[in-house]
Structure 1
């Protein structure tokens, strides 16, 4: 009887420790998947002096983009995600057009008439040429398998002008004055 009790106790302890190890592993995997982050640096284009930092964070199926930009002319400027992370061209055109995986017309984010997944919008630079913008969406992801949402391999572009939200296909936002690849 003692031998049976010892075997049962040993098996119970073994099962509990396996269960605990499995739970810790699952928690770690969930924590890793719950938060992803990409930091990138804006590089001046078209003979501008525009630079800055852009951070993309994914938490709870939401991507938060925060951009801090300097060297701008005071006033409003457009910012978009473009098709390719290739910022090698002096005028930024190596990034291609706006990122538009769902083949929608250009427009204001959330508009009923449609919008590109890269149509972020406008932000304002102060009299010192500094501007910031923060944007949150569940329509992007960082490194996921959904090509309609994955922003990795794309570029963030700051434009000289304002996005009018109607001109096709780009909103008539003017020259590309700063670029950063969104790369893991």
Structure 2
């Protein structure tokens, strides 16, 4: 019977320190820096393969484990089939109890609902800002380098080298060259 921790942050700029401190009593902690919206998370997969009957998986917060109810319930069901319990520290949920199982399902549904509401409000805010002319979207960084792309292409540099040199994607280089060839 081991206590297995799982810690996750969305970006490389974020720190795992607070979660790791909260999971310090765990026998083993799996940690990663990847978006929770992705179902394909290598350390989560490893953790799910690693756990054995009688183990307990601990996370500091529900959103560190899953971003939507479907994914949360899939993980919970998978752990249940392996006879592994799950504990969410900030909510005091323990799926080793019937109440804990019920609370996990309810809280997961509420978290998904809140996220969908937030995304809806965000989209409405962006639409309103666009309507008022305050939102232009993200700056086109690759297109701003069109002259540099053209200059390097004239020097017969491969597209991959141009992309590397200018810190843009190869597809951006191809798109720029295609657009420039249409205008000439």
- Whether the TM-score (by the shorter chain) exceeds 0.5 is no
TM score, norm. by length of structure 1: 0.20
TM score, norm. by length of structure 2: 0.20
Structure (1/2) with the larger strand percentage: 1
Whose relative contact order is higher, 1 or 2, with alpha carbons under 8 Å and at least 6 apart?
1
